[in-house]
């Protein structure tokens, strides 16, 4: 994770030095930074962070997909004349264990429209989530476990 943050810092430095804050230039900075870090890391005997890139990109793609789908659902719900909402809070049993993974999962849930992470239990085994439509909490729990939580474990373990 540290090397990913260094890569991001190198990419931002690249954008600042070149004076062009375009997406293409940022991607080029990420690629150049990754190359530099791989060269440096291999000289110190580490395995690098390049193998983790695909799972992280997969998690980002899932987040963007869920973000757009839930935004659409919330929009349709709000604009419908008869809002048949059943808001509620449900307990989501956590499989992720580290503070970073729990925080990332809670933030991804909160950033998705229609859901909000409320609290984590003291034993860090349960995440309490408020949903705009809590008519089927089991399906929502299954979607989170098979989506965000699984992708987080693939990317950061």
Please indicate, yes or no, whether the overall pTM of this predicted structure exceeds 0.85.
Answer: no
**pLDDT over threshold 90, residue 68:** yes
- CA distance between the termini of the chain: 11
The answer to whether the CB of 134 falls within 8 A of the CB of 89 is: yes
What are the pLDDT digits (tens) for 116-152? Answer: 999 999 999 999 999 998 889 999 999 999 999 999 9
Write the CB contacts of 70 (distance below 8 Å, at least 6 apart in sequence): 112, 113, 114, 115
What are the pLDDT digits (tens) for 20-58? Answer: 888 998 999 989 888 887 777 654 445 555 566 788 889
Beta strands in 1-156 (DSSP E): 88-93, 115-120, 126-131
How many Cβ atoms sit within 10 Å of the Cβ of residue 19? 7
């Amino acid at each position: 994770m540290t090397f990913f943050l260094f890569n991001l810092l190198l990419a931002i430095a690249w954008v600042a030095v070149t004076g062009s804050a375009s997406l293409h230039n940022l991607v080029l900075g990420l690629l150049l930074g990754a190359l530099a870090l791989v060269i440096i890391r291999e000289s110190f005997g580490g395995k690098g962070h390049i193998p983790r890139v695909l799972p992280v990109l997969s998690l980002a793609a899932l987040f963007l997909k869920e973000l757009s789908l839930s935004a659409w659902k919330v929009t349709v719900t709000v604009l419908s004349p008869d809002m048949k909402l059943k808001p509620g809070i449900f307990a989501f049993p956590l499989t992720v264990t580290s503070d970073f993974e729990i925080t990332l999962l809670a933030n991804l849930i909160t950033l998705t429209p229609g859901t909000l992470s409320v609290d984590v239990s003291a034993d860090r085994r349960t995440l309490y989530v408020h949903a705009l439509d809590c008519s089927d909490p089991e399906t929502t729990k299954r979607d989170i476990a098979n989506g965000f939580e699984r992708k987080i474990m693939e990317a950061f373990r």
